[in-house]
């Protein structure tokens, strides 16, 4: 069984110490997939200076030299991998970036180029800002050949571009939902990789304020029982002492099983 960690929102506004604070005692054992924003535009959240919440100004990652140096060191030490987390992560009046932007194709292209040029990192995974993807956003990401790590991705064929595997995947998810006694409205994380014609998708379990250890271990145990894999997703900027304890205890729970391998999130798709 593969177990991975994804952490969202590394960007120009991220002090390297903020990542160190959360992961210093984690990433030697479990590499962290840092879902990174190449040209961050501010929005309302902790860790982004208030004057940039609505300034609309874009901050290229390369302008934070301390951070890019730290990221390169982390990548070289295999403590971290880099995935693409939108292009600007900006919120539009009518939706999140990969729902509402009119040019998702360009955003994928420019974002990838900037991360590859700035960090020299191999990038094979896309994490949608706010886990939100329109049909066109999904098509743009799939066309670039990037795999998607999401949480609560929609599997409805009407919500996604059609390819030769769409229908079979929809049936797989539906069968799993029925076999586990879930209603259509119940949110759940499908514990296997879904492979489409040009990309693959995998769902993560979110660790946010309020998430309990029991919820996460139940998700892990279910994935384990059915022969699936498990990825935890969180945001370094909201990890407090309580969330950190939950994180450590989930990893501790997972490490009790001899067949569990802690991997970089990219390996979930191998």
- Interface mask (CB under 5 A) for Zn ion, residues 118-157, using x and -? -----------x----------------------------
The least CB distance from residue 15 to Zn ion, in Å, is 17
Q: Which is nearer to Zn ion, 130 or 136 (CB)?
A: 130
Q: Least distance from C-beta 145 to Zn ion, angstroms?
A: 22
First to last CA, the chain: 13
Task: By CB under 5 A, tell whether 9 contacts Zn ion.
Answer: yes
Of 96 and 202, which CB lies nearer to Zn ion in the complex structure?
A: 96
Under the criterion CB under 5 A, does residue 7 sit at the interface with Zn ion? Answer: no
**Smaller CB separation from Zn ion, 8 or 91:** 8
Q: Between 16-23 and 65-76, two packed helices, what is the crossing angle to 10 degrees? A: 40
Interface pattern 67-106 for Zn ion (x via CB under 5 A): ----------------------------------------
Outline where DSSP puts E strands in 108-243: 125-126, 147-150, 194-195, 200-203, 205-206, 230-235
User: Distance of CA 236 to CAs 34, 143, 188, 195, 215, Å?
Assistant: 10, 30, 23, 29, 20
Least distance between Zn ion and beta carbon 221 (Å): 27
For residue 28, give both structure tokens. Answer: 């030697």
Inter-CA distances, 174 with 168, 179, 180, Å: 10, 9, 10
Q: Which residue is nearest to Zn ion (CB)?
A: 8
8 binds Zn ion (CB under 5 A): yes
Pairing of strands 58-60, 2-10: unpaired
Is residue 201 part of the contact set for Zn ion (CB under 5 A)? no
* All residues at 6 or more sequence positions from 25 whose CB lies less than 8 Å from its CB, including other chains: 248
Residues that bind Zn ion (CB under 5 A): 8-9, 129
């Amino acid at each position: 069984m593969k177990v991975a960690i994804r952490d969202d929102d590394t960007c120009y506004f991220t002090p390297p110490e903020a990542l160190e604070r959360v992961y210093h005692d984690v990433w030697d054992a479990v590499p962290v997939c840092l879902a990174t924003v190449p040209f961050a535009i501010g929005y309302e959240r902790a860790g982004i200076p208030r004057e940039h919440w609505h300034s609309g100004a874009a901050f290229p990652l390369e302008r934070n030299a301390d951070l890019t140096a730290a990221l390169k060191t982390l990548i070289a030490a295999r403590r971290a991998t880099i995935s693409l987390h939108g292009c600007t992560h900006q919120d539009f009046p009518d939706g999140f970036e990969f729902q509402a932007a009119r040019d998702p194709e360009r955003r994928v292209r420019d974002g990838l180029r900037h991360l590859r040029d700035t960090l020299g990192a191999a990038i094979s995974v896309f994490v949608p800002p706010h886990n939100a993807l329109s049909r066109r956003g999904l098509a743009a990401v799939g066309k670039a050949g990037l795999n998607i790590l999401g949480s609560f991705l929609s599997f409805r064929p009407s919500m996604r571009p059609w390819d030769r595997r769409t229908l079979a995947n929809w049936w797989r998810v539906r069968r799993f939902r029925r076999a586990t006694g879930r209603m259509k409205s119940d949110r759940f994380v499908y514990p296997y990789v879904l492979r489409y014609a040009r990309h693959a998708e995998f769902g993560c379990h979110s660790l946010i304020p309020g998430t309990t250890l029991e919820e996460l271990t139940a998700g892990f145990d279910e994935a384990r029982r059915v022969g699936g894999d498990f990825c935890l997703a969180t945001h370094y900027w909201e990890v407090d002492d309580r969330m950190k304890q939950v994180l450590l205890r989930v990893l501790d729970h997972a490490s009790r099983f001899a067949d569990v391998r802690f991997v970089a999130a990219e390996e979930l798709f191998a």
